[in-house]
Structure 1
Amino acid sequence: MEKRRKVSNPLALAVLVYLMAEPMHAYELGRRLQEHGKDRSIKYNRGSLYMVVEQLRKAGFVAERETVRDTQRPERTIYGITEAGRAELYDWMRELVAVPREEYPSFGVALSLLAVLAPAEGAGLLGRRLAALTEQAEEVRGVLRQAGEDQVHWVFLAEERYRLALVEAEIRFAADLAESLKDPTYERAWQRMREDMT
């Protein structure tokens, strides 16, 4: 069963991981997250990053270490992970890796209501989705190729390999569904259903 957490934003988990490596200020955290491509897996902006750091501080998972100031930049607070933050990080990671979570992606919602669209329109829209998914798959393959050339250790590519597996599975699913929508028996059933509704 999923635990109720004091701070449950996935960005908070990334912040804890990065602060475990070394204390830093929020601006540096944001730079590293972007540099390491975490913005491909975690949705955030500078404002949300600062907000999450503050939530983690209030929860006792991070603490202010020092405030630095140089003449070029505004004052910056350096944060470090606390023992409570370390315990939360490991507990949260173990839960996320071990326990499947029910998620509600918007495509799943659209699929649950797909019968509202005419079969030909649905098939056409799925064709557009397939084109976009194919581009995404190529982009991820490019990231993986480049990482291989750069000799990035495989464990740091797990999220990209997972992303590719999901995209490839969705491509197969969408292609099969688009073909099913073109079946004349479905077209006739859809027409009858539409007539019954009017």
Structure 2
Amino acid sequence: MAKRRAVGNPLALAVLSGLLLEPMHPYEMGRRLKETGKDRNIKYNRGSLYMVVEQLRKAGFIAEQETVRDTARPERTVYALTDTGRAELYDWMRELVAVPEHEYPKFGVALSLLGVLEPGEAVELLGQRLVALEHEAAGITADIAGAKAQGVLWVFLIEEDYRLALLDAERRFVTTLIAAIGAPEYVRAWQDAMGEGTPWSADER
């Protein structure tokens, strides 16, 4: 079972990881998240980043190191990782890598209720999803190739490889599902279960 964290936002983990390299102010943290592509997996904005930084400070995981004064910019507080924060980072990372955790994707919800859709419509919608998945996979493949061409080390691209593997698995699953839902025996079973006069039937939509 996953441990309850003092600051459980995934953005907090990214901040702790960034500060492992060197002390930074929040603006620099955000810039590096974008530069390294981590913003593709961790949603945030300026407000949420500053909020997480303050939560980490209160939890004792990071501490103010200095305030940088610049005539061209407002004051910026530089934060450093504490020993407690370093321990939290490694403990959290070890848990995430080693311990599977059940997640609740929206597509899983849709699949659990797929039987309410008329088979023909379900096949059509799944076909649209398949096209979208193929388009997304192509974009990721191109991004990975571009990054590798620029000399980016493979370990900094593994989250993209993971996303691509998930997309490939989902594409295979959806392709098989389309064939199963479109099969005459499923259509007959659905009609028997839902009734010919169901408001979900193709003739009455």
Q: After TM superposition, is the score higher than 0.5?
A: yes
Cα RMSD, aligned residues only = 1.3
Task: Report what 2:131 is aligned to.
Answer: 131
- What do the CA deviations read for 1:63-94 (whole angstroms, capped 9, x no partner)? 01111121221111111110000000000000
**Residue 44 of structure 1, CA deviation:** 1.1
1:38 aligns with 2:38: yes
Please tell me the residue identity of whatever aligns with 1:51: M
Task: Sort the Cα spacing of 1:186 and 1:81 in 2 relative to 1 into closer, same or farther, 3 A.
Answer: same
What is the CA–CA distance in structure 1 between the aligned matches of 2:88 and 2:81, rounded to whole Å? 10
TM-score, normalized by length of structure 1? 0.96
Against the structure 1 CA distance between its residues 197 and 84, is the aligned structure 2 distance closer, same or farther, given a 3 Å change threshold? farther
Which residue is 1:119 aligned to?
Answer: 119
TM-score (norm 2): 0.93
Name the SS of the counterpart of 2:66 in structure 1.
Answer: strand
2:61 corresponding residue in structure 1: 61
What is residue 184 of structure 2 aligned with on the other side?
184
SS at match of 2:74: coil
Deviation of 1:188 after TM superposition, in Å, equals 1.1
Distance (Å, rounded) in 2 between the aligned partners of 1:102 and 1:172: 21
Q: Which runs of 5+ in 2 are unaligned?
A: 199-205
Q: What displacement does 1:3 show?
A: 0.6
Residue identity opposite 2:25 in structure 1: H
User: What's 2:15 paired with?
Assistant: 15
Deviations 1:75-130 (CA, angstroms, capped at 9, x unpaired): 11111110000000000000000000011111111101110111111111111111
Instruction: Report the equivalent of 2:110.
Output: 110
Per-residue Cα deviation, 1:123-151 (whole angstroms, up to 9, x for no partner): 11111111111111111111111122112
Structure 1 segments (4+ residues) deviating >3 Å: none
| Identical columns (%) | 65
CA distance in 2: counterparts of 1:87 and 1:197, whole angstroms: 62
Q: Which amino acid aligns with 2:167?
A: V
Count the aligned residue pairs: 198
Shift of 1:196: 9.1
2-structure distance, mates of 1:192, 1:50: 56
